Structure 1
């Protein structure tokens, strides 16, 4: 790990030998091209740093540690030179969210701080944390499918603590899928800020469900200000999972879903928010709204989801209040799967365990090999096969699937083979 880290740091210094000057273009475009709030600096800076380092194949743990260290240095700086001037009353009204910063100069400063961290660490590399004791092989695949645009976003963050500066000794990993509609702005925003907002909640360890609900609510409020100042109209469903100690907490808005598989059996974690769900229908009607059928059930004849980030033209009918559920893990769980409705519209949760098992047993995979790299290669192909199955089953929507293995895939295959043999012997 240290050798790979030093090699990367050396390459980065060679590529960027000098700091960026005012007016110089950033190596990558920031998410916000004009303005961002102080609350958005955390998420957008980390996103820019992670994206920049990922394109240069930085080791994941090194990447997250560098971004966190750089953000800490950035927040020590005087950012007042980057404050946006209040030009008129409308602009002043926009600043109900607080101070707005010029985005590109702020992110240029972040990049220069990242470069300084790189040079410092090349001279004296800090201790890198040991690999997680939890087996968290992650398989991800996403396709635009037949849709004109790709509006899904996903986040896989095994290094949650390292990226967000948490040092309480609690092991955490975070995974999320966001399914945008009316554009990808809301999905991108949620993928950038929800995990940051979650990490800032005081109740994160004592009451993770409450922390998740507050994080969703705050992210929705933050996006409302951005949507107003930039005239955005999009929305996004979302489902996020936090693995923390020996528990799994899922939180969701809308019809993206997460499910758990334990010893080959599907375990229900949640009930997606759909307009036709009886309690959702009653909630909307109590507010004075209605549910109408227009090819599918829609809120006030518009959106086909009853809860989402964004969709401010239909708030509070389309609610921004997330639901949560927490279960304790016993160690015999196989994996957790997160996916958008483009997957679950054609694949029932009960079908998933067999589909995953068949994919792992595919002779075209190197799963039968004994070495670790072969096992990882086999596991990482699973999401792609699930996405292909959903498409072949008739899905025309964007499809995103994230599979987080909680046990090595080869154990799942071995246990299934053992079960089949026992059943055959008992039949004799």
Structure 2
């Protein structure tokens, strides 16, 4: 009799282990209890079950909404979710900038426009690294100094307006040369200031001068500009300065430096770009330089619709062509699509600060 009882208990134990304690069985048991409680038990239990059901509906609705928004490129998210968020909007230029997933906000941007439209408008993007000091310094000094130099240049040209072009330009000054001089001068000032406090911060520098018939873009680092021409084509306004590029590798090697892979190709295993402003320890080794690449564009020929200037956070998730298509479909938005593409880049997984500036061209070859 005892042996039969033990056999029965052993059988029950096996049933408990292999049937009642299986996850599927426990799940069905919980559902059954919940349904029984809903129909036959207290009002409190009914309230809990109803609240849970409503919560599930709400979450499903939010998921559907986010999927639809992602499909159409519109993500309406409170700015407070991105820590530091900056925006700017005027008649033909808008910018939007978020801290995103980074611990610190090191992106900066600036716009200087002439109300009377008699002098070039100036636009700048500065993507800092190693701290905010270099980007702050560039924002505080570069565009204003550049404007003063351009105004002085214009005054001299006006004095000589009756002379032939060769005599006017005999000093070698031009918009591109002034732009290059000011960037290199600012870098020297920045190095002197930051090295005095052992501040190793650096920054990219992307600056565009927009006059009535010409667009001039200077680039140092890996912020990038792209233009949409009259046919909707993406025209590169700059080229990234990356350590793995043949020209940059040769220059770095000639200076006695090296590049190595540490998540990405880096100069001396440290810096993911080969040119920058600041970064005094690498400048002292001559492995990183501040020399800008400068490109000029004829607006009469291109008849552009708009241009995009952005930090590399955007270009981690968008190609030039894709960004142009995205913005072109959203030029009627309050920020000309800048806010939408920043949020879209964030939701595509960009880990960096993201800053995007969109400049619309009014008419063909009007400049601004």
Q: TM-score range by the shorter chain?
A: 0.5 to 0.7
Partner of 1:227: 194
Q: How many Å separate the matches in 2 of 1:313 and 1:382?
A: 39
Tell me the TM-score normalised to structure 1 length.
Answer: 0.56
Report whether the alignment pairs 1:384 with 2:339: yes
Give the 3 Å change call, closer, same or farther, for CA 405–379 of structure 1 in structure 2: farther
Partner of 2:134: 186
CA contact (8 A) 1:137 1:379 kept: no
Give the 3 Å change call, closer, same or farther, for CA 188–178 of structure 1 in structure 2: same
How far has the Cα of 1:318 moved from its partner? 1.1
CA contact (8 A) 2:225 2:309 kept: yes
> Aligned to 2:122, which of 174, 181, 202?
174
Partner of 2:252: 284
Partner of 2:14: none
Which consecutive unaligned segments of at least 5 residues does structure 1 have?
1-59, 61-134, 163-168, 361-366, 368-377, 409-428
CA contact (8 A) 2:95 2:355 kept: yes
Q: Report the secondary structure of 2:357's partner residue.
A: strand
Partner of 1:142: 97
Q: Report the secondary structure of 1:148's partner residue.
A: coil
How far has the Cα of 1:213 moved from its partner? 0.9
Q: How many Å separate the matches in 2 of 1:258 and 1:204?
A: 26
> Aligned to 2:293, which of 317, 323, 327?
323
Q: How many Å separate the matches in 2 of 1:200 and 1:305?
A: 30
| 1:25-60 per-position Cα deviation (integer Å, ceiling 9, x unaligned) | xxxxxxxxxxxxxxxxxxxxxxxxxxxxxxxxxxx9
Give the 3 Å change call, closer, same or farther, for CA 136–406 of structure 1 in structure 2: farther
CA contact (8 A) 2:227 2:324 kept: no
CA contact (8 A) 1:136 1:404 kept: no
Q: How many Å separate the matches in 1 of 2:277 and 2:337?
A: 29
Give the 3 Å change call, closer, same or farther, for CA 227–182 of structure 1 in structure 2: same
RMSD between superposed Cα atoms in Å: 2.1
Bigger relative CO (Cα 8 Å, ≥ 6 apart)? 2
Number of equivalenced pairs: 252
Partner of 2:322: 351
CA contact (8 A) 2:219 2:239 kept: no
CA contact (8 A) 1:197 1:218 kept: no
Give the greater-gyration-radius structure (CA). Answer: 2
Partner of 1:416: none
How far has the Cα of 1:136 moved from its partner? 5.3
261-270 vs 396-405, which deviates more? 261-270
How far has the Cα of 1:269 moved from its partner? 1.8
> Aligned to 2:263, which of 278, 285, 295?
295
> Aligned to 1:399, which of 342, 347, 354?
354
How far has the Cα of 1:209 moved from its partner? 1.2
Which consecutive unaligned segments of at least 5 residues does structure 2 have?
1-88, 155-172, 364-368
| 1:393-416 per-position Cα deviation (integer Å, ceiling 9, x unaligned) | 2211000000000137xxxxxxxx
Partner of 2:272: 304
Give the 3 Å change call, closer, same or farther, for CA 170–185 of structure 1 in structure 2: same
Query: For 1:18-167, what aligned pairs fall within 5 Å after superposition?
Result: 137-159=92-114
Report whether the alignment pairs 1:260 with 2:231: no
Q: How many Å separate the matches in 2 of 1:224 and 1:406?
A: 36
| 1:122-157 per-position Cα deviation (integer Å, ceiling 9, x unaligned) | xxxxxxxxxxxxx95112100000100000000011
Q: Report the secondary structure of 2:124's partner residue.
A: strand
How far has the Cα of 1:271 moved from its partner? 1.2
